[in-house]
């Protein structure tokens, strides 16, 4: 049985980035940038006022200054400020020729057509051309994720379309005769399908787009027919349930019949030991064990990496050390364990608290989950107050 680290290496090796597409800024948030971006011009592009006040030459020691112009932001100031002169100016406006300092309006007195400094300091209150970035500076590197800050920078550079990773196209089948749509009344033996909602939510969070999602009975031929019909319409196929070795667990057989190469089918992991990963050309597939906790854990520790590989971005294995706040029902084991947990702030300090986890079939154990405690195989019981290894589920 391979370790999770080995499994992750196999996922990384067998998935390549999807071809980049050009996206308008409005559609690029959350995508991975697939080009370098340089400053086409200086930022800011001209010397400008950083305060509302009066523009003068900084070496002009006059006692009062005649107001010869008013410059609003956006105006192309054509005046030239001479000795003993100033221009009324507002934050963001272009500093006129001859001026090199803005006296804050709070530091002056107005006497008719004159401005009289009450207080003078060395601070110029001028944002100089190129102070933020110089023309030709490399500002954004290929591979970084685009958020509000990066998109605002692109807009200020005049870059309105960027090469980004396309959303990963996902097809998902939840398998099981017992599964019913959440809105349905249940007959004895039936349960509501919660994994489809879990998967749809995480797929969106990981940068995917669901192109097909359906529940399918434990019927090999039916599942084969449905997955065959997908052809090349997906990048990633996710099958929920049927990863194990029960009589009706035919995930692995299905992928083999579809021409996928199986890279692994069990990992030394708790929960989530039966996890199948396979690839076919540029496409990849997972069969994910059906229990809700196993689902959530494997989607985060393994499937998420597939999304990152497809997007060509950095991988985010967000392990941190955080203080354990409370004892929990720890049982040492021979498998590396990821225990559902919550990071929270207690008395101004970030701490981790294990959530109740009796069975991987429990759904209430997922309430408030935002982290997983990483417990190495054969680890001694972690003590309250000790730093513990925690995988953050929301990437900072
Ligand atoms: P399996 O991986 O198919 O052996 O399923 C393991 C357990 O997870 C069984 O108790 C299933 O009923 C349950 N399960 C499987 N699929 C789902 C689902 N989509 N939603 C909720 N529970 C599920
Ligand atoms: Mg099943």
pLDDT of amino acid 245: 80
Instruction: Return the ligand number nearest the Cα of 191.
Output: 1
Establish whether residue 305 lines the binding site of ligand 1, counting it when its CB lies within 6 angstroms of any ligand atom.
no
**Distance from the Cα of residue 238 to its chain's centroid:** 21
Q: What is the DSSP string of 37-83?
A: EE-SS-BSSS-EESSSEEEE-TT---S-EEEEEEE-TT-----B--T
Residues 91 and 9 sit within 8 Å (Cβ to Cβ): no
pLDDT of amino acid 225: 98
- Predicted TM-score (pTM) of the model is 0.91
Establish whether residue 71 lines the binding site of ligand 1, counting it when its CB lies within 6 angstroms of any ligand atom.
no
Domains and CATH numbers, the chain: 4-17+167-311 (3.40.980.10), 21-42+131-164 (3.90.105.10), 48-127 (2.170.190.11), 319-392 (2.40.340.10)
State whether the Cα torsion 255-256-257-258 is positive or negative.
positive
Look at ligand 1, atom 6, and give the residue with the nearest C-alpha: 290
pLDDT tens by residue, the chain, 396 residues: 999 999 999 999 999 999 999 999 999 999 999 999 999 999 999 999 999 999 999 999 999 999 999 999 999 988 999 999 999 999 999 999 999 999 999 999 999 999 999 999 999 999 999 999 999 999 999 999 999 999 999 999 999 999 999 999 999 999 999 999 999 999 999 999 999 999 999 999 999 999 999 999 999 999 999 999 999 999 999 999 988 888 878 999 999 999 999 999 999 999 999 999 999 999 999 999 999 999 999 999 999 999 999 999 888 899 999 999 999 999 888 999 999 999 999 999 999 999 999 888 889 989 999 999 999 999 999 999 999 999 999 876
Residues 369 and 348 sit within 8 Å (Cβ to Cβ): no
Q: Coil, strand or helix: which one is 313? A: coil
Residues 70 and 53 sit within 8 Å (Cβ to Cβ): no
Establish whether residue 298 lines the binding site of ligand 1, counting it when its CB lies within 6 angstroms of any ligand atom.
no
């Amino acid at each position: 049985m391979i370790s999770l680290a080995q499994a992750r290496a196999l996922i990384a090796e067998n998935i390549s980035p999807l071809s980049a597409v050009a996206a308008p800024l409005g559609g690029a948030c959350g995508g991975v940038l697939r080009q370098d971006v340089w400053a086409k011009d200086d930022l800011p592009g001209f010397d400008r006022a950083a305060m509302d006040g009066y523009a003068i030459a900084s070496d002009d020691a006059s006692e009062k200054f005649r107001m010869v112009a008013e410059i609003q932001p956006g105006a192309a100031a054509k005046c030239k400020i001479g000795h003993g002169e100033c221009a009324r100016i507002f934050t963001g406006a272009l500093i006129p020729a001859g001026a090199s300092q803005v006296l804050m309006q709070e530091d002056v007195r107005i006497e008719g057509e004159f401005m009289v400094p009450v207080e003078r300091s060395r601070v110029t209150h001028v944002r100089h051309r190129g102070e933020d970035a110089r023309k030709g500076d490399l500002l954004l590197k290929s591979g970084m994720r685009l958020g509000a800050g990066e998109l605002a920078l692109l807009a200020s550079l005049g870059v309105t379309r960027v090469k980004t990773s396309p959303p990963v196209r996902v097809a998902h089948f939840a398998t099981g005769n017992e599964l019913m749509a959440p809105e349905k009344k249940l007959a004895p033996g039936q349960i509501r399908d919660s994994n489809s909602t879990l998967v749809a939510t995480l797929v969106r969070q990981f940068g995917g787009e669901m192109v097909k999602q359906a529940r399918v009975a434990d019927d090999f031929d039916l599942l084969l027919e449905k997955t065959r019909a997908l052809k090349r319409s997906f990048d990633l196929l996710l099958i929920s349930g049927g990863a194990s070795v029960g009589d009706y667990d035919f995930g692995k057989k299905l992928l083999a019949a579809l021409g996928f190469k199986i890279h692994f089918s069990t990992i030394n992991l708790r929960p989530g030991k039966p996890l199948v990963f396979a690839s076919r050309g540029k496409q990849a597939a997972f069969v994910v064990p059906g229990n809700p906790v196993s689902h959530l854990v494997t989607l985060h520790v393994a499937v998420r990496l597939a999304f990152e590989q497809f997007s060509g971005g950095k991988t985010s294995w967000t392990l941190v050390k955080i203080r354990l706040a409370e004892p929990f029902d720890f049982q040492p084991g021979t498998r590396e364990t990821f225990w559902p947990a919550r990071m929270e702030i207690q008395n101004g300090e970030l701490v981790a608290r294990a959530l109740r986890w009796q069975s991987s079939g429990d759904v209430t154990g997922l309430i408030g989950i935002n982290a997983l405690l990483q417990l190495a195989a054969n680890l001694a019981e972690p003590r309250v107050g000790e730093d513990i290894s925690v995988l953050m589920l929301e990437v900072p």
